[in-house]
Amino acid sequence: MGKLSDILGGGDDDRLRQAWAESETAEDFKPLPAGEYVARIIGGELSTSKTKGTPAYKLTFKVLEGDHADRQFWHDIWLTPAALPMAKRDLGKLGVENLEQLENPLPPGIRCKVKLAMRKDDDGAEYNRVRRFEVWGIDPPETDAYAPTNTGEVHCRVTAWLFL
């Protein structure tokens, strides 16, 4: 087993020890309180449930406003014959018209108003459940400080390079 001083490269261990002594212990994340949230969909992917292997499409949301900004929550859209009416409702809000579209990434920046409920498992564990969501629009992409300022000129050079 290694020593702390070995991985800190000498000298930094005193600063880390001081920071350790002064730091408060973080609380475990708990489910978000039930209510309405403004959130952005930051991901969507095909998945299966851990227990039964039920096929699903999992949406990842990130809270944009309020006390819980930057927290994430998830919505499983079940892909079973019994759940297809609800799946088509929710996926239709995102412009998904056929199952093959689920293999492609969602457009970035989908802003939603989401109603979250609190649920409890048989073992007493609490979790969030998306009751409903409405798509409010698409947020413009965040600007990259390192992106070229004259994108037309760069595009022309790249296009010219492709045809050489």
Q: Is residue 105 part of a domain?
A: yes
Evaluate whether residue 115 is within a structural domain: yes
For 47-73, the pLDDT digits (tens) are 999 989 999 999 999 999 999 999 999
CA-closest candidate to residue 133, choices 65, 41, 57, 55: 41
Domain count for the chain, please give it: 1
| Residue 117 belongs to some domain of the structure | yes
Domain containing residue 94: 35-138
CATH number of 101's domain: 2.40.50.140
Tell me the pLDDT tens digit for each residue of 69-112. 999 999 999 999 999 999 999 999 999 999 999 999 999 999 99
Say if 73 falls within a structural domain.
Answer: yes
Q: What is residue 157's predicted lDDT score, i.e. its pLDDT? A: 41
Q: Are 51 and 126 in contact (CB under 8 A)?
A: no
Q: Decide: 76 and 58 in contact? Cβ < 8 Å.
A: yes
Tell me if 75 sits within 8 A of 115, measured CB to CB. no
Pick the more confident residue, 102 or 143.
Answer: 102
What pTM does this model have? 0.73
Q: Residue 10 falls within a domain, yes or no?
A: no
| pLDDT value of residue 154 | 47
Compare 120 and 11 and report the one with higher pLDDT.
Answer: 120
The reply to whether 25 falls in a domain is no
Say if 50 falls within a structural domain: yes
Q: Is 2 part of a structural domain of the chain?
A: no
